[in-house]
Amino acid sequence: MIRRTLMTSVALLLSTTAVFAAEWTPAAWATQKTLQFRADCPDEGEYWSYVWLVVLDNDVYVRLGTRSAGRVDCSRSKPMTAVRIDGETFDNVEMIPSPAMTERVAAAMSAKYPTDLFLRYLNHPYTMKLVAKGR
């Protein structure tokens, strides 16, 4: 009986550690080039979009083009999404429209991504801040 209780306790401890191993750490992702976010539109089903990211003031921001913005708009789970970054998946992330950050994010994108020289002139309907919520 004691052995079974000990084994159960160890298994529970290990599974709990695995669940909380991934930490939302924006500063650690400042050099990452892309992340993926999930949309679940009724006509399309689950779809993972790749987008550029910048980290400003220890927050993750993305600038969405027309196609990605459309997927956010039709997603059944909006404003919540899942995010994949640096080999980790975060299932409970809120996408917060941040129009006041548009110019600052655009400047950071230009500084980080050389090809933004051309892409910055395309339509980007949304600048979003990504915020992980409790598990």
Q: What's the average pLDDT block by block, 10 residues per block, for the chain (135 residues)?
A: 47 44 90 97 94 97 95 96 97 96 94 82 85 83
Question: In the chain, at which residue ranges do the beta strands (DSSP E only) sit?
Answer: 34-41, 45-56, 59-64, 80-85, 88-97, 126-132
Q: Considering only CA atoms, which of 60, 70, 65 is closest in space to residue 123?
A: 65
**Rounded-to-10 torsion of CA 87, 34, 94, 130:** 110
What is the model's pLDDT at position 80? 97
- 16 burial (CB, 10 Å; 0-12 / 13-18 / 19+) is exposed
Pure H helices in 28-101: 66-74
Task: Report angle CA 54, 80, 35 to the nearest 5 degrees.
Answer: 30
pLDDT for the residue numbered 116: 74
The phi and psi torsions of 66 (rounded to 5 degrees) equal: -60, -45
> Taking a C-beta distance cutoff of 8 angstroms, is the pair 120, 107 a contact?
no
Pick the CATH number of 22-132 from 2.120.10.30, 2.30.110.10, 1.20.1050.10, 3.40.50.1970: 2.30.110.10
Q: Where are the domains of the chain?
A: 22-132
* pLDDT score at 122: 72
pTM of the model: 0.81
